[in-house]
Structure 1
Amino acid sequence: METTTVATNNTFVRQCIIKFIHDIEKQYSINVIFACEGGSRGWGTHTDDSDYDVRGIYILSEEQYMSVSKSKGILSGFSQTIPQTNVLFDYIFIDFRKFLKRNIFNEKNQLNLILQSKTWYINKIPQDILCQLKISLPIPLKGIKGHLNDLVKQLKNVQKISPKKALNCLIYGLQLIHIYMYNSFPFYSCQEEIEFLQNQMVNNEDKLNMEQKQNVQLDNIVEDFKIDQILDKFKQYLELKQHNQSSIPEQDNQIIQKFIQDIMSYKYNNTIQSLTPSQLDQIFRKMLSYKYQNVE
């Protein structure tokens, strides 16, 4: 089915999604304090016909939290159609209190990564709280590995790998490499992550030339995982996807699968820190008292 002319208008699509978010707020008496684009459009690996993956956080009033009736916690919908188009979008909104509770020493919570996305629809979180959350929430190491493990199962004994699946493997792999090297959240945008890693490698090489090896771990990881090759493959597969190619070259299958295997078996012993329950409660209380100003 062909995409209608209006569906290619990103401004129109954005306005429709923001209107949908406001309608959700009215329907459920909630206040969406953060909404962004996830998935391929958040990563920057989308094509014109890619769907939209809207992810967000909402908050209730203090009276609602004190009520005996419980919040749904998570609101979600899949394959929603944007009016006047055949463009699809999915959405997941999580209650802020539930979001914080799930983050106590939780390395599986993939929703932590949405705060790294720069493709916002709505942001009402105060800058100081947003910065604190970005730095202090647990990095979802196990969640990323879980996605990679699922991909390994899907690719087992497969002769042809689609560019989309190959890119997903490299995206999660590069995210893990970032965590291994810097014990911090990776970039959400693939382009930002690639540029960051390339700059780090160049800077480290310059210091090596001056006999000032600054990051031995970086140097070893670049060599062990053949990062230069992986970054080149990423660009190739992105081009294949944009040209609607059905598969990557068969000789690359082993490269992808070995990359995943090496990444998954890497010994990473750093302890991932988290906010304490009392700190999370302070953030929650501050958000309840905040007078929201929307940034769209």
Structure 2
Amino acid sequence: MKETILQSLAKIEEDFDVKILYAVESGSRAWEFPSKDSDYDVRFIYVHKKEDYLTIDQMGIGKKRDVIELPINDLLDITGWELTKALKLFRKSNPPLMEWLRSGIVYYEAFSTVDKMKELSKEVFAPNSCLHHYLNMASNNFRVCLQGDEFRIKKYFNVLRPVLSAKWIEKYNEFPPLEFPKLVEVLLPEGELKNEIHTLLKRKISGDELDFEPKIDVINEFLNEEISRLREYASTLQVDLPDLTPKLDQLFRDTLKEVWE
């Protein structure tokens, strides 16, 4: 499959006249709970030629799109962000982008840009905004997916992962790892809750994720209590971050020089 992904990325470079800097897996495979029929969620960062930036219209305005999206099929979901878009989101500690930088499945990496972003990631990390992101994700999925008497196994992980990610931020004041089993192992004590989650994880990976099941009270109670508690904690955080714009401007200029000269 990696060869298919690399061929798709090479065609993107040719079709759009760009250079790809970095491409990773961003979905359930990176979270270490894929099902047998899980697709591949490929995310990448790319850069245009220097002259494409030296215009009166910046990227993202009008026809100058700052996103490349291939048509989604049953196997592949491929989306990329243009570098200045990525750096502006990076400056805000954007959680999806921060996850890309921590993916354990890297399909492609060229040039030094992403390594430099990783070096700066601790400086841009904003625990309050990341907490709000994960808690909003957890709350919305909890309300929509887990309020009935039955559920699909897959839906529990759409709430458990962001809740545990938020707990990691609270405990360690750092961006959480992507790997769901690590979150469970480090953050949860031995007992009924952990056992039930391990059982769900095994069933999801084996292909039971779309089966309807009675809700699991110990997990529902944990999620409900943790979302409320973590929201209260997040409301107390006040974090002042340094303005990294000059560093990111220089990183952008250095990238153009490294890639195209």
Q: Distance in 2 between matches of 1:230 and 1:114?
A: 29
Structure 2 unaligned spans of 5+: none
Structure 1 match to 2:141: 151
Could you tell which deviates more after superposition, 169-178 or 95-104?
A: 95-104
The question of whether the paired residues in 1 share the 8 Å contact of 2:32 and 2:179 is answered with yes
1:77 aligns with 2:70: yes
Could you tell which deviates more after superposition, 14-23 or 277-286?
A: 277-286
The question of whether the paired residues in 2 share the 8 Å contact of 1:79 and 1:89 is answered with yes
Structure 2 match to 1:239: 202
Q: Distance in 2 between matches of 1:95 and 1:103?
A: 12
- Alignment-mate amino acid for residue 203 of structure 2: L
Could you tell which deviates more after superposition, 70-79 or 257-266?
A: 257-266
Using structure 2 for the length normalisation, give the TM-score. Answer: 0.82
The question of whether the paired residues in 1 share the 8 Å contact of 2:149 and 2:214 is answered with no
- Alignment-mate amino acid for residue 111 of structure 1: L
Change (3 A) 1:45 1:103: same
Percent of residue pairs bearing the same amino acid type: 23
In angstroms, what is the RMSD of aligned CA positions?
2.7
Q: Deviations over 1:112-133 (max 9, x none)?
A: 2211101011112527504324
Runs of 4+ in 1 over 6 A off after TM superposition: none
Structure 2 match to 1:204: none
Structure 1 match to 2:125: 138
Q: Distance in 2 between matches of 1:235 and 1:53?
A: 24
- Alignment-mate amino acid for residue 165 of structure 2: Q
Matches within 5 A, 1:37-186: 37-68=25-56, 70=59, 71-80=64-73, 87-104=74-91, 106-126=92-112, 128-139=115-126, 140-155=130-145, 157-186=147-176
The question of whether the paired residues in 2 share the 8 Å contact of 1:183 and 1:270 is answered with no
Q: Deviations over 1:189-213 (max 9, x none)?
A: 2234344x26xxxxxxxxxxxxxxx
Q: Distance in 2 between matches of 1:265 and 1:228?
A: 26
Structure 1 match to 2:20: 32
Change (3 A) 1:44 1:156: closer
Instruction: Please state whether the residue corresponding to 1:114 is helix, strand or coil.
Output: helix
Using structure 1 for the length normalisation, give the TM-score. Answer: 0.73
The question of whether the paired residues in 1 share the 8 Å contact of 2:138 and 2:160 is answered with no
Q: CA deviation at 1:29?
A: 0.7
Q: CA deviation at 1:65?
A: 1.4
Q: CA deviation at 1:26?
A: 0.8
Q: Deviations over 1:95-125 (max 9, x none)?
A: 1111112333x35552222111010111125
1:14 aligns with 2:2: yes
The partner residue of 1:190 within 180, 187, 199 is: 180
Give the length in aligned residue pairs: 246
Q: CA deviation at 1:228?
A: 5.8
Structure 1 unaligned spans of 5+: 1-12, 81-86, 199-221
Change (3 A) 1:274 1:56: farther
Instruction: Please state whether the residue corresponding to 2:79 is helix, strand or coil.
Output: strand
Q: Distance in 1 between matches of 2:201 and 2:253?
A: 43
